[in-house]
Amino acid sequence: MSKRKILLEEITTEFHAIKNKMHAKMMHKNKGNITHSQEFALFTISQSKDTGIKEISKMLCTSSSAATQLVNELVKQGYVIRRTNSKDKRALHLEVSKKGHAQILKTKLQHSKIISSLFSSLTNRELKNFIALNKKILNNIL
């Protein structure tokens, strides 16, 4: 096996390990609150004024019915407000409630603490290198 292939396999293993540890930390911190999918939907709704079920299902790569169930639960818990579109009564308009905004802020603070902890072993120079490498990889993907 070539050295490059060995390195790429090691990167893959490390990516998975980091992802799994971060996910475990977030789930531990989020006990009793909303699920990861609900959190993602809440962030998606907060980013756009015209977010509907279709947008949520696309972002989560799931069916419209699954997205509807997810949004229904967010509405039921008071994180999201569902309104009908005044121009098209069939269309739904979703917006984040005050409780939802508080949850987003709480989640952002938790993420910030976890990310800070994750990168605490790196110097500022190493962080800059990490960012540069990530940007290079992203540019290659897009």
Write down the pTM of the prediction: 0.75
Determine the Cα angle at 112 with ends 47 and 132, to 5°.
Answer: 85
Could you write out the three-class secondary structure of the chain? CCHHHHHHHHHHHHHHHHHHHHHHHHHHHCCCCCCHHHHHHHHHHHHCCCCCHHHHHHHHCCCHHHHHHHHHHHHHHCCEEEEECCCCCCCEEEEECHHHHHHHHHHHHHHHHHHHHHCCCCCHHHHHHHHHHHHHHHHHHC
Render pLDDT for 64-103 as a digit per residue (tens, 0 to 9). 999 999 999 999 999 999 987 777 766 778 999 999 999 9
- As a residue count, the chain comes to 142
Render pLDDT for 13-42 as a digit per residue (tens, 0 to 9). 999 998 888 777 777 666 557 888 899 999
The CATH fold assigned to 34-141 is Arc Repressor Mutant, subunit A (1.10.10)
Q: Given this model, what pLDDT does residue 35 score?
A: 86
Q: List the chain domain ranges.
A: 1-32, 34-141
